[in-house]
Structures are given as C-alpha cells and as structure tokens.
Amino acid sequence: MNYQRGSLLMEVVVATAVFVACVVAIYSAARVSLIGVTGATKKIQAAFLLDGMIDELKFIRDKNWNTIKDANVGEKYCLAQDTSEELKLSKSPCPTPSDGFTRTVIFSAYGSGSTIDYNLKNAAMKVSWQSSGGIERSVSADMVIGNIFRCDQ
C-alpha cells in the first residue's frame, strides 16, 4: 500500500509539472506575439505618418517655396506645428512629440556640379520611435520636391 501512495504522489507532482510547463509555454508564446503585434502596429502608424509628411511638405511648398528653398542642405529639420497650428520646419533638436513619433527631413540639392536645379530639392524624410526595448526604429522615404509655381525664383 505504501508503494501506491508514493506512486500517486509522484503522478500528481509530474502532472502538475507538465501543466505548469504548458502554461509557461503558452504565456511565452502569447508574450512574443504581443511584442510582434505592438511592433507591427507602430510600424504601420509610422508609415501613415510618413505618407502624411509628403502632403505636409507639399503644403509648405505651396504656401511659401522659400521655406524649402532656404533650408540648409544636409541639416536636419523637424516637421512640427507652431502655437498658431501652422505647419513649419524647425531646426534640430526636435521637441519630444506627444505621440512618440519624431518626424524629420533632410534636404539636399537636386543635380550636381553646374547642373543644380534650384527649383528642385531632394527631401529625405524619416519617422522614428523608440521600441519597447529602447531601440530606435524608423521608416523613411525620399522624394524630389519642386517649385511648381516658379513665381519666386
């Protein structure tokens, strides 16, 4: 009889260990999935913000081409709204955004040597954020933006 009692106790311990191992495995899989979903969600949000940056730069261009024309080549600018809710380019360092995403643009000349077109500029746009592990992640796009109205050359 004593052998059966010890055997029953061992079966309960083994069954409990198997159950705990299954619960831990399910929890770990769910945690990894949640981290992946969170990362994908942030990347999708950043892609939408990047798409919006294209329209915002076009808006700035249409309102006053000199804002873009006079931007220093190679210098990082932040796309932000001032107190009057007007879009503007401001020099780095960028203020900490409330949504966690930093929007930056770096302009470069279009063309090379003696063939630089001053009515066109390359714009390298980037939206960045901090991941849960503290690593900076980003999405970026390049575009050529031009003075389509050519009224203030």
Instruction: Compare 20 and 4 and report the one with higher pLDDT.
Output: 20
More confident residue, 107 or 84: 107
Q: Poorest-confidence range of 5-9, 77-81, 114-118?
A: 5-9
* Rounded CA separation 46/102 (Å): 9
List pLDDT tens digits, range 13-52.
Answer: 899 999 999 999 999 998 888 877 888 888 999 999 999 8
pLDDT digits (tens, 9 = 90+) for 110-140: 877 677 777 888 999 999 998 877 888 999 9
Q: How much is the pTM?
A: 0.72
What per-residue confidence (pLDDT) applies to 142? 93
Helix (H/G/I), strand (E/B), else coil: 19:
helix
Binned at pLDDT 50, 70 and 90, residue 83 comes out as: low
Average pLDDT over the chain reads: 83
User: CA torsion 71→77→57→69, rounded to 10°?
Assistant: 0
Instruction: Spell out the residues 6+ positions from residue 101 whose beta carbon is closer than 8 angstroms to its own.
Output: 45, 46, 49, 127, 128, 129
Q: Considering the chain, what percentage of its residues have pLDDT values greater than 90?
A: 25
